[in-house]
Amino acid sequence: MTSADNLDDKHGRARAGRPKVLSICERKKLVLVAVNDLFTEGGIDGLTISAIAKRAGMSRRTLYEIFGDRETLLLAYLDDLVSRCLQPLSSDEQELPLNDRLRLLFQARTEWGSWDLPLAILRLAIDSSAEAPSIGQRCLEIGGRRVEAMIREELERAVARGEVGKLDTAIAAAILRDMIQVPVVDALLDNTFRPDAKDRRARTELALDIFLAGIGSEMVSGASARGKIPKASR
């Protein structure tokens, strides 16, 4: 099929008889939706390459061409989820005081949704860690290490601006990450435990208050910090 075969006519109508050719990005989105739906219906055991390909409306070959293997596909699902919930600050947001920047950093852009599939993926990573340690390492990069890097970037910006005194930003970022991180181990070991969104927000706020006081950041009152953060870009 040539590139001309994919073009609409001059009025913007799709040419009759020719199915739309999806981009790689569009195919990935279809696959990730299929993964979520199939897990809801049949759990982790239902997430076979054949089932996912069928639900996404594509061949197994296409699925393998995009993701390589099932583990990479599941990690892509986890990466997409984290990326939609947690994103770096915009250039305008970077001009805010440190306490506002950190609060915006942990202000989820979208709801996390169910924890069941992410936890199932983490269990698979743990189970395969001896034979395939790269899967577990990738989970860390997607989650905790990404968060830590984003915190450290803002702390280094704060040191450069004189918002806080000199400090080891790597250690400080690791400490704050541990303070705000939900108890994932509890959820992995106790299938009846799921982190509550309200409790997560309260944990984050208290952790930030304690952390900022600990590093000597000039803080505004809690009402100001939580009530006057710009929302336009979120």
Contact in structure between 114 and 126 (CB atoms under 8 Å): no
Q: Which of 101-105, 114-118, 190-194, 224-228 holds the top average pLDDT?
A: 101-105
Residue 5's pLDDT is what?
A: 36
- Mean pLDDT, the chain, integer: 84
Q: How confident is the model at residue 18 (pLDDT cuts 50, 70, 90)?
A: low
SS (HEC) of 14-37: CCCCCCCCCCHHHHHHHHHHHHHH
Scan for tokens 């001309």, then name that residue. Answer: 4
Domains identified in the chain and CATH numbers? 20-68 (1.10.10.60), 71-219 (1.10.357.10)
Tell me the pTM.
0.78
Helix, strand or coil for residue 213? Answer: helix
